[in-house]
């Protein structure tokens, strides 16, 4: 059997090239990142988690769950408070120059706190650089960045990302909350896009 048949909802069968990272592999890796994060934040009683919407919602939920479970199992419980920020920089698969911060513009509750920014994907790093600059203005005690996916591009942003889930080639990916024009967030795997298919079906994947 093709793995794809088990992991794609029926309505996406035509539109996805292949599973790129299966759900179980994502979960294993997220658990590993939770370990690293707990070690680094061990001196703190709590973490202020800043989830970058919409793409970061699954990664953030799973990461926070692992931090809770690992804390319970090791008696080193680390309290997490989750806040959300919505950024918008893409239309279709094109990065637009201006970063819009939608909602949670006032992050003054971050002052003096240990902050973990949780973002699904870091590509050129422009978005993360702008967000870090914004977050720093609120004078947190420390800021770390978790990126599930970091793209291997020239001048890659790896150094911006303290916890890298997977370093991936420069392909457009969807799934596990990452979208193409708001589609495909409901996949629990990371998938290769099949852009050629979508371009032919423009009317079926209109920009929302």
Query: CA 65 to CA 70: how far, in whole Å?
Result: 9
Which ranges of 113-156 does DSSP label H, i.e. alpha helix?
126-136
Task: Compute the residue count for the chain.
Answer: 208
How far, rounded to the nearest angstrom, does the alpha carbon of residue 26 sit from its chain's CA centroid? 12
Which of the residues 39, 106, 123, 162 is marked catalytic?
A: 123
Residue placing its CB nearer to ligand 5GP in the complex, 98 or 108:
98
29 to 88, contacts with ligand 5GP by CB under 6 A? 55
Closest CA to 103 of 88, 115, 118: 88
Q: Is 158 in the site for ligand 5GP (CB under 6 A)?
A: no
Q: How near is the Cβ of 200 to ligand 5GP at its closest, in Å?
A: 19
186 counts as catalytic: no
Closest CA to 193 of 57, 90, 108: 90
96's contact among Mg ion, ligand 5GP, none, with CB below 5 to 8 A by partner kind, is: none
CB 131 within 8 A of CB 52: yes
Which of 126, 142, 183, 197 binds ligand 5GP (CB under 6 A)? It is 126
Residue placing its CB nearer to ligand 5GP in the complex, 38 or 121:
121
Which of 127, 161, 165, 176 binds ligand 5GP (CB under 6 A)? It is 127
Which of 51, 173, 189, 190 binds ligand 5GP (CB under 6 A)? It is 173
CB neighbours (10 Å) of residue 10? 7
Q: HSE on the CB side for 177, CA within 13 Å?
A: 19
Give the interface with Mg ion as residue ranges (CB under 5 A).
55, 90, 179
The arrangement of strands across the sheet holding 190-192 comes to: 18-21, 190-192, 173-174
Q: Is 124 in the site for ligand 5GP (CB under 6 A)?
A: yes
80's contact among ligand 5GP, Mg ion, none, with CB below 5 to 8 A by partner kind, is: none
List residues near ligand 5GP by CB under 6 A. Answer: 55, 89-90, 95, 119, 121-128, 172-174, 178-180
The catalytic residues are 123
């Amino acid at each position: 059997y093709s793995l794809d048949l088990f992991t794609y909802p029926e309505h996406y069968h035509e539109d996805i090239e292949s599973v790129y990272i299966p759900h179980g592999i994502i979960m294993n890796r997220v658990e590993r990142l939770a370990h690293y994060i707990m070690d680094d934040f061990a001196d703190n009683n709590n973490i202020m988690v800043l989830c970058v919407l919409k793409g970061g919602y699954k990664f953030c939920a799973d990461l926070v769950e692992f931090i809770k479970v690992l804390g319970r199992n090791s008696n080193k419980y680390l309290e997490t408070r989750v806040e959300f920020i919505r950024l918008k920089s893409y239309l279709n698969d094109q990065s637009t120059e201006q970063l819009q911060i939608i909602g949670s513009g006032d992050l003054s509750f971050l002052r003096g706190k240990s902050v973990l920014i949780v973002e699904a994907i870091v590509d050129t790093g422009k978005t993360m650089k702008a967000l870090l600059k914004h977050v720093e203005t609120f004078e947190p005690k420390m800021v770390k960045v978790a990126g599930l996916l970091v793209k291997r591009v020239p001048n890659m942003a790896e150094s911006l990302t303290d916890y890298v889930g997977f370093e991936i080639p420069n392909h457009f990916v969807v799934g596990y909350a990452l979208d193409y024009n708001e589609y495909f967030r409901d996949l629990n795997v990371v998938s290769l896009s099949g852009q050629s298919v979508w371009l032919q079906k423009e009317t079926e994947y209109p920009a929302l």
